[in-house]
Amino acid sequence: METKEYYRNRRNEILKMIRKGFRFQYIADKYGVTKQRINGIARDNKIHRWKNNRKKYKKLVNKIHQYVQNNPYSTYKDLQIKFNLTVSNLNTLKYRHGLNISNSILSKSRNNSIINDYFNNKLTATEIINKNYGVETHSGIYEICYSTNRYRKFRTKYNLKNKHFEKKEIFDLIFDLKDNKKMKFKNITKYLNDNNYKTIYGRKFRTGKLC
């Protein structure tokens, strides 16, 4: 038979769990009471978890803003790994706690830097990848750059031994596949290799060799 001492001890145990940060529903299930009862016990003892959470989330938001300021090419994935968060957590911080960052904003800033390096600074896809923008493939770089509907001329390779450039028919074919048939570089490469086209060195085409 439960005594007053039993209920007093149970109440103290519940208070300890509340202060340690256990979820109200977990505590309620453990002691066979309702979540509202646990919330009432917390309120009676002037424990307002939402105030503590608000302070905690405010500090976290400030840390994320500082991290992004120091790492301007961060993505949502980087933030997830760095702060052990999910996309849902980040969206909650955005809509409820003042996080002034979204996946589209981060991607836009990174993509603009990649586009500037490719078209204005004339860097190769490999050089851009080495700048650690978070895009690790040539096709990823090309897709970002050509989403602007701007194109950089293909660079020709000069064969010193035979003293000729890449065949004009191959260049015309590549431009036709890219501009008219809207094929991606990965698919163009596969098409060239499937149809036995070779580079001036007699090798198979690779995605990084097209631009």
Q: Give the residues across from 164 on adjacent strands.
A: 159
Determine the 3-state secondary structure of 173 from DSSP.
Answer: helix
- pTM of the predicted structure, to 2 decimals: 0.45
Residue 142: Cβ-neighbour burial (10 angstroms; 0-12, 13-18, 19+): buried
**Interacting residues of 174 by C-beta distance below 8 A, sequence separation 6+:** 154, 188, 192, 210
* pLDDT tens digits in sequence order for the chain, 211 residues long: 567 888 888 888 988 888 887 888 888 898 889 988 888 888 888 877 766 677 788 888 899 989 888 887 787 888 888 899 888 888 888 888 888 887 777 888 888 889 999 888 888 888 888 888 878 888 888 888 888 877 766 555 544 445 455 677 787 888 888 888 888 888 888 898 999 888 776 778 877 544 4
Q: CA 87 → CA 15, 51, 95, distances in Å? A: 32, 23, 12
